[in-house]
Amino acid sequence: MGMRFEQDGIGAAALRLLAGTGSVIALLAAWEVLARAGVVSEFLLPRFSDVVGRIWEDALGGVLFVQIGLTVWRAVLGFALAGLVGIVVGVVMARNRGANWFFDPIVSIGFPSPKIAFLPVFILWFGLDDSSKVLMTVFAAVFPVIVATAAGTEGVDKYLIWSARNAGASERDILHEIVLPAALPQIMTGLQVALPISLIITIVSEMVMGGEGLGGNMIQAGRFADSLGVFAGIVQIAIAGYVLIKGMEILRRRLLAWHQETQQISTF
Amino acid sequence: MADASAAGAGGIRIANVGHTYRPPRGRPVTALEEVSLEVAENEFLALLGPSGCGKSTLLYLIGGFLPIESGGISVGGTPVAAPGPDRGVVFQHFALFPWKTVRENVLYGLEKQRLPKAEREARAAAFIEMVHLDGFEDSYPSQLSGGMKQRVAIARTLAMDPGTLLMDEPFGALDAQTRSLMHEELLAILKRTAKTVVFVTHDVQEAVLLADRVAVMTARPGRIKTVVDVADVGGAADAIRDPRFVEKVDFLWGQVRDEALAAQKGGAG
Amino acid sequence: MTAALWRYTPLFLIAAAWEGAIRAGLMDSSLLPPFSEVMAALGRLVVDPELYRHAAASLMREVAGFGLAVIVGIALGIVMAWYVPVRILVNPLVRCIYPMPKSALIPVMIMWLGLGHLAKIGLIFLGCLLPVIVSAFNAARGVDTVLIWSAQAAGATRRQILTEIVLPASLPEILAGVRTSLALSFVLLVSSEFLMAREGLGYMIAFLGEGGVYDAMFAAVLLVTGIGFAADRAYLAVARRLLVWRE
Ligand SMILES: Nc1ncnc2c1ncn2[C@@H]1O[C@H](COP(=O)(O)OP(=O)(O)OP(=O)(O)O)[C@@H](O)[C@H]1O
Ligand SMILES: [Mg+2]
């Protein structure tokens, strides 16, 4: 495909980094200039420098970390529970015909549908506190993990299993030592889809239920026409999301050093 | 190597075995029909036959991976019921664990056999060296060429020192030079620790060179067409120039060719 | 027919357990109305013109926002993959913004576009745009170089290679990415209707819940779930049509 200089050598890598950072800085600069030029009102687009100032203030007061911490905690807890439940259900589905029969219609309907529609149900059942936010998150994030785990577990090359049996492995060993590692690329993919879902759903839940946390704060700021607060919230959420999702990518690379990655994963 | 006339107590006895694959979708395929064959203890039997005639299937049945639906197979006097480390298999498609390094792949079976750590390590190193992969111990299979992967698979199975070796085209992905080196290594190992071997190959010359007897299978559904004694030829590297060797190779080649043609016709019809 | 029935039997079992548990007093009917009542409410809902007013509003927002995101996103993604300068400048931006949880855009959309249709369309469009761009970009970048070489060898122009090789070869992956975005678009639609709307299916669920009409609320939740599922199935059917050559 034409020239591909950005793939070759250290010099090219440095150049790419430069162009990359440059374009991000250019975007932020354009934001600042646009806001200062007064093309749009201060309310619709506050200056980037003011947004940074707001975040800095919140950080000095310590509020920032409490709010980010709460949101990240809810999202990560929901994600972790969804991961755990999803892997167990996925493995059981792949290995047990009865379980497969039972869960299959639930999963095939649940997987593509907008689980967030159940939010009022979770509020009705668990009230407005943390548990309903976390459980809503679990419910929304568990399906991609189930689907990916079941597909990965089912698709394990039978010769790998035979080979382990031949070496004298027990059925239990085979699950831990062969099936799960062989399915790990797909399980990781499922988790990588579930993580952004967890963040999205936690934030919506916070917005709808109000209270502490980034989502609640942003909606509150919006109500009080505090556009600086809204933009500060976006920047904070974006950074939190970036860190978590990059962390997950690094974890994948660590765990799957052996795996030849063939495809990028499409997530939210 | 042992006398090929009768299956000893430690040999493999295959009596009237058939196998039909029943895929969840699609028509059932009868891969084997009424196969009877005996391999004496410590005998080396090569199995020839056209592609798709059921050679791998027969090996999987002996290995205990597929259920025996008709007939019976016993190894060392006990009927085959499940896979076990007494029958080491080198799979046609290697079946290396992609998340384990070369060393870890070779170690896996040794760990399962609960060998002491020092011995495991020593044995793994020795067999990795034997297949000329020293220096690649910490590579993952995805970083190896086809021939290298195949050599890992061979080392992994040989390291476990099974009494029976079931090898499915184990040298198929190797270049001619490496292949000939591997032949020598295999024969040397068999000289040191005698084993019963069933060796699937497409290479007639290789079969005659290595084996005591060569069995030719018919086109699918596979049966045993002929069994030829070749113990008196082969073994040494210069055997291929021996006229008796050439004669046996020619004969077997003709047999396999007939079946390959039959398979083609059957496939077209 | 019987196979399909057997396949969905677990759902009937769950419905029966739901009904039975409430009848037996194991569950509080103020928290979960019996299945039969929810079904009755669903029956009333589907003959109520109000439902169709809400559904029409939602459908309009969904189609406009998602449709636009797909068209613009695929075009941008492929341009990014194909033209090196565009890639070098735009890709880092996309990578940087892409992981942002898209629901964070809701308050900004309210500020910018108010409480009407436009805010939801804008939200769905912006939320789905990045995932579509990224999947189209990855798909086009992942096209086997050998395919491109053989087209070059056959004398194809750059433009022909783009439309005749790159686009069809990356279509399967693009379609898979679009499917993920379709699911996201429904999440954003319903979420934004919870938070800022006077009409739409999400608004209807929230409204029924706040009014304490729980049998109708559950009916509406099941309905929205069913619509999301049906949309996905319809999408898969279309995608399969587009990919017949792949067998
Ligand atoms: N899992 C399976 N399901 C259905 N049919 C199968 C399956 N495995 C093998 N077969 C069929 O059984 C027949 C025998 O297969 P087998 O792999 O034993 O052949 P083979 O002699 O080893 O061939 P090759 O020399 O190409 O390795 C083939 O015709 C194949 O189509
Ligand atoms: Mg075979």
Backbone angles phi, psi at A205, to 5 degrees: -60, -45
Question: Closest to B83 (Cβ–Cβ): which among A160, A162, A173?
Answer: A162
Mutate to test the pocket of ligand 1, among B56, B61, B167, B199 (most ligand atoms within 8 A of CB): B56
Q: Which of A156, A157, A145 is nearest to A103 (CA)?
A: A145
Locate B214 and state its tokens. 């060569």
DSSP assignment of B14-44 equals: EEEEEEEE--SSS--EEEEEEEEEEE-TT-E
Of all residues in chain C, the percent with pLDDT exceeding 70 is: 99
Question: pTM for this one?
Answer: 0.87
With 0-12 CB in 10 A as exposed, 13-18 as middle and 19+ as buried, what is A193? buried
Contacts of B17 by beta carbon, 8 Å cutoff, 6+ apart: B32, B34, B35, B36, B58, B61, B68, B70, B71, B72, B73
Q: Does A27 touch chain C (CB under 8 A)?
A: yes
Q: Cα separations (Å) of A199 from A127, B99, C124, C141?
A: 20, 31, 17, 28
pLDDT one-digit tens code per residue, B94-139? 899 999 999 999 999 999 988 999 999 999 999 999 999 999 999 9
Within chain A, residue ranges assigned H as helices are 9-37, 48-61, 63-95, 97-110, 119-126, 130-154, 158-166, 171-173, 180-209, 214-223, 227-255
pLDDT confidence tier of residue C246, bands split at 50, 70 and 90: low
Query: In this complex, does chain C touch chain B, defined as having at least 3 beta-carbon pairs under 8 Å apart?
Result: no
d(CA A65, CA A70): 8
- Best interface-test mutation with B: which of A100, A158, A163, A252 has the largest number of B CBs within 10 A? A163
Is the CB–ligand 1 distance for residue B66 below 6 Å? no
| Other beta carbons within 10 Å of B24 | 4
The identity of residue C72, as a single letter, is: V
How far, in whole angstroms, is CA C221 from its chain's centroid? 16
Determine, for residues A258 and B100 on separate chains, whether the beta-carbon distance falls below 8 Å.
yes
Q: B127-131, B259-263, B265-269, C183-187 — which is least confidently predicted?
A: B265-269
Backbone angles phi, psi at A189, to 5 degrees: -60, -45
| Other beta carbons within 10 Å of B27 | 7
Length of chain A, in residues: 268
Chains in touch with B (≥3 Cβ pairs < 8 A): A
- Best interface-test mutation with A: which of C12, C18, C128, C191 has the largest number of A CBs within 10 A? C191
Mean residue pLDDT of chain A comes to 89
- Give the pLDDT score at B5: 37
Q: Cα separations (Å) of C208 from B41, B66, C32, C202?
A: 80, 59, 14, 10
| Other beta carbons within 10 Å of B106 | 29
Conformation bin of residue A140: beta by default, left when phi > 0, alpha when psi is -120 to 50: alpha
- Give the pLDDT score at B6: 42
Vertex B57: Cα angle to B234 and B162 (nearest 5): 60
Pairing of the two strands B164-168 and B87-90: parallel
Mutate to test the pocket of ligand 1, among B21, B27, B169, B256 (most ligand atoms within 8 A of CB): B21
Q: Strand, coil or helix: what is B243?
A: helix
d(CA C137, CA A264): 10
With 0-12 CB in 10 A as exposed, 13-18 as middle and 19+ as buried, what is A263? exposed
Residue with tokens 């279309």: C238
End-to-end Cα, chain B, rounded Å: 44
Domains in chain C: ranges and CATH:
53-246 (1.10.3720.10)
CB-CB contact of B219 with B53 (8 Å): yes
Is the CB–ligand 1 distance for residue B56 below 6 Å? yes
Reported ipTM: 0.92
Domains in chain A: ranges and CATH:
1-45 (no CATH), 62-266 (1.10.3720.10)
- Give the pLDDT score at C130: 92
pLDDT confidence tier of residue B3, bands split at 50, 70 and 90: very low
Is the CB–ligand 1 distance for residue B29 below 6 Å? yes
Backbone angles phi, psi at B263, to 5 degrees: -65, -40
Determine, for residues A238 and C104 on separate chains, whether the beta-carbon distance falls below 8 Å.
yes
Determine, for residues A160 and B100 on separate chains, whether the beta-carbon distance falls below 8 Å.
no
pLDDT confidence tier of residue A3, bands split at 50, 70 and 90: very low
DSSP assignment of A131-185 equals: HHHHHHHHHHHHHHHHHHHHHHHHTS-HHHHHHHHHTT--HHHIIIIIIHHHHHH
Is the CB–ligand 1 distance for residue B164 below 6 Å? no
Atom of ligand 1 nearest to the CA of B49: 21
Chain C partners within 8 Å of A43 (Cβ): 111
Residue with tokens 């790998």: A160
Q: Which of C185, C171, C173 is nearest to C242 (CA)?
A: C171
Locate A69 and state its tokens. 């911490």
- Best interface-test mutation with A: which of C111, C123, C157, C189 has the largest number of A CBs within 10 A? C111
Pairing of the two strands B44-48 and B196-200: parallel
Taking the CA atoms of C102, C103, C108 and C110 in sequence, report the sign of the dihedral they define: positive
Nearest CA in chain B to A260: B142
CB-CB contact of C182 with C235 (8 Å): yes
pLDDT confidence tier of residue B265, bands split at 50, 70 and 90: confident
Q: Does A44 touch chain C (CB under 8 A)?
A: yes
Q: Is the pLDDT of residue A184 over 80?
A: yes
pLDDT one-digit tens code per residue, B204-233? 999 999 999 999 999 988 999 999 998 888
Q: Is the pLDDT of residue B1 over 60?
A: no
Of all residues in chain B, the percent with pLDDT exceeding 70 is: 94
